[in-house]
């Protein structure tokens, strides 16, 4: 039980929880089909979870959105860093992180993500439209344009071989073979694409397709210095195969017609979990639409892969992942939300064949 008399730092008091429960689930773990739900601080549970292909983070925003959130973006790096360090240590080489936050919240945490080996890919904007504010904004007081967006930044694990990024390692291995750079074009049977794309060290670098990598490795091991062989090897015993190389690239499937601007209204209607039915206030300030969560999960993983939801809330990520045949591990520290979230998962997944 939480000691209500214990002082709480001013920056983490939050707005207070509107959702109330007279009784909480006694269990610390609940398993509903492919969804594995844990009560408590996710930092205490990561070690017991299967390594993830996808992490969907929807934690502190720096807006006092819940007890434990910070009062502004300045404290978010410290708030997130223990989690980010744990994610970096646990995830697969090809994992993707989707980091939900406000624009300034994401900007504050970005350096921490980079420091722990996450490489920025893209910033996606959830545009809720003008209906989100319905004209109810005093811009004379706020002195800014009304905010109708959130961001979901995409990161991937920065794979390294011998301390080098893949981009650096490819060129280093080729140079180590003693072959001139232009010979890479001959290896791949192209005019200049190998040097211009695969061995480039700028933002123009392009991940070589499996066939091109196989050609580079075969050429270097046939024509390169004998003393340095094998080239393009991860274990020092043999060159990597085309399949091993391909597995170093994160999964990504982009549905036709989608861009990085998601024009989707704010969450309303039957999907929005409310207190006292449809007429009551929202049970959780930060509930995300299932369709957007399914979009990012399906884009960055395959059926059977593992998804993490470190900050469960009402376990929306867990529902979206389990619906799409992914294993999902999630935690919620607040026992009231944990209880409500478990009930929601059970209800949402009750008719799923995966049960």
- C-alpha Rg value of the chain to the nearest Å: 24
The beta strand positions in 162-254, using DSSP E, are 164-165
pLDDT at 97 (0 to 100): 98
pTM confidence score = 0.89
Q: What is the pLDDT of residue 216?
A: 98
User: Across the chain, what does the average pLDDT equal?
Assistant: 91
Q: Collapsing DSSP states into helix, strand and coil, what is residue 17?
A: coil
Here the tokens at position 260 are 């990085």
Give 282's pLDDT tier (boundaries 50, 70, 90).
Answer: confident
pLDDT at 7 over 90: no
CA dist., res. 266 & res. 253, Å (int):
25
Q: What whole-number distance in Å separates Cα of residue 309 and Cα of residue 330?
A: 4
Asked whether residue 316 carries a pLDDT value surpassing 80, the answer given is: yes
Residue entry with tokens 């819940």: 66
Which domains are delineated in the chain? 28-159+250-349 (3.40.50.150), 165-246 (1.10.260)
What is the distance between the alpha carbons of residues 323 and 290, in angstroms, rounded to a whole number? 10
SS3 211: helix
Helix (H), strand (E) at residue 82: helix 76-90
Comparing 108-112, 141-145, 228-232, 314-318, the range with the smallest average pLDDT is: 141-145
Q: How confident is the model at residue 65 (pLDDT cuts 50, 70, 90)?
A: confident
Torsion of CA 295, 298, 299, 305, to 10 degrees: 150
Q: What is the pLDDT of residues 15-38, one digit of tens each?
A: 556 666 667 888 899 999 999 999
């Amino acid at each position: 039980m939480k000691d209500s008399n214990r002082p709480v730092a001013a920056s983490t008091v939050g707005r207070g929880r509107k959702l109330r429960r007279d009784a909480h689930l006694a269990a610390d773990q609940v398993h509903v089909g492919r969804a594995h739900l844990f009560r408590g601080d996710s930092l205490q549970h990561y070690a017991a979870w299967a390594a993830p292909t996808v992490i969907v983070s929807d934690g502190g925003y720096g807006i006092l959105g819940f007890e434990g959130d910070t009062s502004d973006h300045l404290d978010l790096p410290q708030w997130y860093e223990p989690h980010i360090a744990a994610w970096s240590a646990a995830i697969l080489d090809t994992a993707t992180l989707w980091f939900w936050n406000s624009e300034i919240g994401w900007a504050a945490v970005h350096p921490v993500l980079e420091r722990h080996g996450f490489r920025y890919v893209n910033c996606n904007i959830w545009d809720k439209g003008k209906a989100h504010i319905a004209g109810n904004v005093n811009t004379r007081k706020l002195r800014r344009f009304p905010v109708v967006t959130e961001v979901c930044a995409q990161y991937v694990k920065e794979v390294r071989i011998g301390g080098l990024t893949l981009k650096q390692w490819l060129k280093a291995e080729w140079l180590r073979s003693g072959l001139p750079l232009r010979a890479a074009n001959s290896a791949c049977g192209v005019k200049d694409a190998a040097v211009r794309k695969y061995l480039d060290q700028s933002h123009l670098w392009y991940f070589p397709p499996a066939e091109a990598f196989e050609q580079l490795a075969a050429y270097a091991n046939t024509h390169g210095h004998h003393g340095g062989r094998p080239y393009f090897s991860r274990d020092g015993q043999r060159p990597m195969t085309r399949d091993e190389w391909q597995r170093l690239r994160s999964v990504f499937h982009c549905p036709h017609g989608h861009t990085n601007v998601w024009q989707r209204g704010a969450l309303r209607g039957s999907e929005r979990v409310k207190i006292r039915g449809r007429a009551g206030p929202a049970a959780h300030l930060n509930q995300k639409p299932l369709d957007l969560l399914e979009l990012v999960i399906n884009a960055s993983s395959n059926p059977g892969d593992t998804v993490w939801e470190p900050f469960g809330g009402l376990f929306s990520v867990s529902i979206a992942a389990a619906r799409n045949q992914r294993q999902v591990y999630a935690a919620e520290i607040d026992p009231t939300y944990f209880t409500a979230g478990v009930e929601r998962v059970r209800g949402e997944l009750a008719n799923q064949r995966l049960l």
